[in-house]
Amino acid sequence: MADKDDMAKIAYEMQIYREEAQVIQQQLANLQINYSSTEAAVQTLENLSKLKKGEDMLLPIGSGAYIKSKVESNEVALIDVGAGVIVEKPVPEAVAFLKSKMTEMDSIRDKLQKNFVGISNKMKSLEDSANKLMEKMRADKTVIQPYKDEGEHQEYR
């Protein structure tokens, strides 16, 4: 009976790790979306600083969509610094701020990936344990049981 309990425990732990892995995968996907958005903002600001006042430009607004615009100022940018607070920053400072956010996201991504690998390793270990336990359970069930031959006598196998 202990083997069945052990197998149930392994199945339960595997389910928990599967759910944790799915959460991490979702966090990584969300992080990639934020990273790409921030990277696009950096590129836009860097390109903006090369344009002159009054020059036409295509301004990316996300998801591959653009609007036609004229450069009113290429010296300052409005940046969301968190909690809905928007501040005006010189373009070089805005670029530096966004690049620092990208560095933070890189660090978070590395930690998430490390956690994912750890969970994957734990799941592999549990899978190995489950396989060994299954083999043991199969071996334990090899008990001598009567086997009826087509003839009238019984054999034991």
Q: Characterize the bridge pairing of strands 154-156 and 146-148.
A: antiparallel
Predicted model pTM: 0.77
Say if 154 falls within a structural domain: no
Q: Is residue 144 part of a domain?
A: no
Cα separations in angstroms, 95 against 8, 14, 43, 153: 53, 44, 9, 89
Count of domains observed in the chain: 1
Residue 22, in any domain of the structure: yes
Asked whether residue 34 is domain-assigned, the answer is yes
Question: Residue 59 domain-assigned?
Answer: yes
Domain extent for 94: 2-135
Q: Domain of 108: which CATH number? A: 1.10.287.370
Cα–Cα distances in angstroms (integers) from residue 103 to residues 31, 74, 100, 117, 138, in the given order: 12, 25, 5, 21, 52
pLDDT at 2: 78
Confidence at residue 25, expressed as pLDDT on a 0 to 100 scale = 98
According to the model, what pLDDT value does residue 103 have? 98
| Per-residue pLDDT, 153 | 52
| One pLDDT digit (tens) per residue for the chain, 157 residues | 578 889 899 999 999 999 999 999 999 999 999 999 999 999 999 998 888 889 998 888 888 899 999 998 889 999 998 898 999 999 999 999 999 999 999 999 999 999 999 999 999 999 999 999 888 888 887 544 455 555 555 544 4
155 found inside a domain: no
Gap between the Cα atoms of 133 and 157, Å rounded: 23
Measure Cα distances from 149 to 11, 85, 141, 142, 154 in Å.
Answer: 39, 85, 21, 19, 6
Q: Is there a domain that residue 149 lies in?
A: no
